[in-house]
Amino acid sequence: MDGNGRWAKERGWPRSRGHFEGAKAVRECMQGCLDLGVEFLTLYAFSKDNWQRPKEEVETLMGLLKRFLKEYTREMKQHGVRVQAIGRLWELPKDCQEQLQGAIRTTAHNTRLTTILAINYSGRGEIIDAIKQVLADVEDGRLQKEQLDPEIFQRYLYTSRWPDPDLLIRTSGEMRVSDFLLWQVSYTEFFSLQKYWPDFTREDMRLAVEAYMKRQRRYGGV
């Protein structure tokens, strides 16, 4: 969800205003998914590298996360949205963890759309965490190293319960992966929008899905 800061800067506003408007765009994105029958949506909300930003901006982002979950959890429950999260969640501030777990519990039985928030997430970090667990299981005799293959390894990832993404949307014209779901996007289709994330609408989601549906996915074949 790129471009919050640039969106605000172009309007002469503080970066925090861009993040606030970006949170509103999340609702548009989720509604677009509900309209289209999309079953899984993963939102890169806060990367592990984002801790390097100014302290004030990080605090703003953490505050927005809590505010979003507090204000919209009931609405998500009513619309059939199930909230989940991936990343090193145990490193988040305690109050953020509590708000997040509350949203997960409240929406646990919803089935229309699973919205996965990637928070304090790193694709490289996810793979390292998976490798550590694989090594622990080999050492304890729960896994033979000869058994290890891509399908087995995938069970150790944060996303083991869900399918790999079919489509990756990047706003503000970005064309890189940025440490997001490095293992999972091996055969994912990319769609880039020039507009900044705060301007993202459910219509943009429809256009992205329509573009995806026109592509032929060969998975290395002919």
User: What whole-number distance in Å separates Cα of residue 105 and Cα of residue 200?
Assistant: 28
What pLDDT does 24 receive?
A: 93
Read off the pTM.
0.94
Active-site pick, 2, 4, 120, 204 = 2
What pLDDT does 102 receive?
A: 97
The CATH architecture of the domain made up of 4-123+167-212 is: 3-Layer(aba) Sandwich (3.40)
What pLDDT does 124 receive?
A: 98
Take residue 206 and report the two structure tokens written for it: 């429809």
What pLDDT does 221 receive?
A: 77
φ, ψ at 164 (rounded to 5°): -65, 150
- At residue 79, the 3 state secondary structure works out as coil
The interaxial angle of helices 15-36 and 202-213, nearest 10 deg, is 50
What pLDDT does 219 receive?
A: 80
Residue 120 appears among annotated catalytic residues: no
Averaged pLDDT, groups of 10, the chain, 222 residues long? 94 94 95 98 96 94 94 96 98 96 98 98 98 98 96 98 97 94 97 96 97 89 72
Residue 50 appears among annotated catalytic residues: yes
What pLDDT does 217 receive?
A: 84
All residues at 6 or more sequence positions from 75 whose CB lies less than 8 Å from its CB, including other chains: none
What pLDDT does 222 receive?
A: 67
Active-site pick, 4, 35, 50, 179 = 50
Q: What's the helix, strand, coil split of the chain in %, to 5? A: 50, 15, 35
The answer to whether the beta carbons of residues 139 and 106 sit under 8 Å apart is no
CA geometry: angle 98, 104, 107, nearest 5 deg: 135
